[in-house]
Amino acid sequence: MSTTKTKTFASQADLEEKKVSFDKLSDNAYAYTAEGDPNTGIIIGDDSVMVIDTQATPVMAQDVIRRIREVTDKPIKYVVLSHYHAVRVLGASAYKPEQILASQDTYDLIVERGEQDKASEIGRFPRLFNAVESVPDGMTWPTMTFTGKMTIWLGKLEVQLLQLGRGHTKGDTVAWLPQQKILFSGDLVEFGATPYAGDAYFKDWPQTLDAIAALKPEKLVPGRGAALQTPEQVAQGLTETRAFVSDVYASVQAGAKAGKDLNTVYNETMNRLRPTYGQWVIFDHCMPFDVTRAYDEATKYTDPRIWTAERDIEMWKALENQ
């Protein structure tokens, strides 16, 4: 593990700009992706546009808007928050939506930990918060919430917002186009990118992925990574995400049951998982958070503890800079 002992905290050293792609999945669905940076989904209905996840700042959101305007002049009426993380929600004001939609669980998480999480995320990933000064004061607040399921009709195009279970957070929401079998998963599914699980429910996540698979999506926009354009690619994304989550938790749970401390469990899990997953984007960034949360869940914390900027640094020093 000597290669990771002296790393700059989290991804503060990650400065390389990523190449953006704007991929068409159907006449109604597009994916804004950037080589493992957070994705944004776009749904173009008969009369309006829905955006799923906003980018981290209003300035960054302007690039999404520019690309939307290359394919439609319909008004952007809806912003959907797949979950509460700052990198997903703080660009919302740029779209000037009529409604910001989220699950009630996501709303509750913003109330409980939104401010702390915002400070924590900006500290971890400065590059992902380009022009952070453009973020309005305060939080991005949903204007409408739901529990379980909400259906939005964009003219004749049906969009279902679904809570299929806990995973990445307790509030995870997917956007589903049942007529076209296209799903926007948020960070419940990643592709070639390491799932961040610092606020996760490890025991629930695999079953939630099974619920996604049961919809039989033919195309899927993950939270990070390239848009999945065939059923085979969708299956691969689901399988690999499920395997990662399961492998992390199995390793951590075994160590915790054996009475090993967090530091020992972290080093063992890193060594165990690096050969399979080490090439995935943000592996070194995510693993300290993922293992810490898995250790919490395997021991005494059913629900994720709040990450603060101070807790981030304490954890990083304890695991990476000893």
Q: What is the mean pLDDT of residues 143-165?
A: 98
Q: Can you state the angle between helices 104-124 and 309-320, rounded to 10 degrees?
A: 60
CA angle (266, 267, 269) in 5-degree steps: 65
pLDDT of residue 26: 98
pLDDT of 160 above 90: yes
pLDDT value at position 74? 98
In this prediction, residue 166 carries a pLDDT of 98
Distance CA 181, CA 319 (A): 42
Amino acid residing at 243: A
Characterize 187-222 residue by residue with b for buried, 16 or more Cβ atoms within 10 angstroms of its Cβ, and e for exposed.
Answer: bbbbbbbbbbbbbbbbebbbebbebbeebebbbbbb
Q: 210: which residues sit within 8 A by CB, 6+ positions away?
A: none
pLDDT of 309 reads 87
pLDDT digits (tens, 9 = 90+) for 91-116: 999 999 999 999 999 999 999 999 99
Q: Can you give the pLDDT at residue 127?
A: 83
CA triplet 237, 124, 82: central angle to 5 degrees? 45
* Confidence check: pLDDT of 65 > 60: yes
Q: Whole-number mean pLDDT of the chain? A: 93
Tell me what pLDDT residue 128 has: 85
- Report pLDDT for 16: 65
CA distance 309 to 311: 6
Q: Which residue has the higher pLDDT, 18 or 273?
A: 273
Give the CB-side neighbour count of residue 72, counting CA atoms within 13 A. Answer: 19
Cα separations in angstroms, 50 against 80, 81, 228 = 7, 11, 20
Query: 96 has which bridge partners?
Result: none
- What is the rounded average pLDDT of the residues 79-85? 98
Q: To which H or E segment does residue 119 belong?
A: helix 104-124
Long-range contacts for 270-278 (Cβ within 8 Å, ≥24 apart)? 270/1, 270/4, 271/1, 272/247, 273/244, 273/247, 273/248, 276/247, 277/194, 277/244, 277/247
Domains of the chain with CATH codes = 2-320 (3.60.15.10)
pLDDT value of position 214: 98
Specify the pLDDT at position 2: 35
Report the DSSP pairing between strands 49-52 and 76-80: parallel
Q: Quick one: pLDDT at residue 212? A: 98
Cα distance between residue 265 and residue 292, in whole Å: 9
**pLDDT score recorded for residue 84:** 97
**165 pLDDT above the threshold of 60:** yes
- In this predicted model, what pLDDT tens digit does every residue of 5-55 receive, in sequence order? 445 555 544 556 778 999 999 999 999 999 889 999 999 999 999 999 999
Residue 8 pLDDT: 54
Under DSSP, is residue 55 helix (H, G, I), strand (E, B) or coil?
coil
What percent of the chain lies above the pLDDT cut of 70? 94
- Both tokens assigned to 220: 């899927």
User: Range with the lowest mean pLDDT among 5-9, 70-74, 190-194, 317-321?
Assistant: 5-9
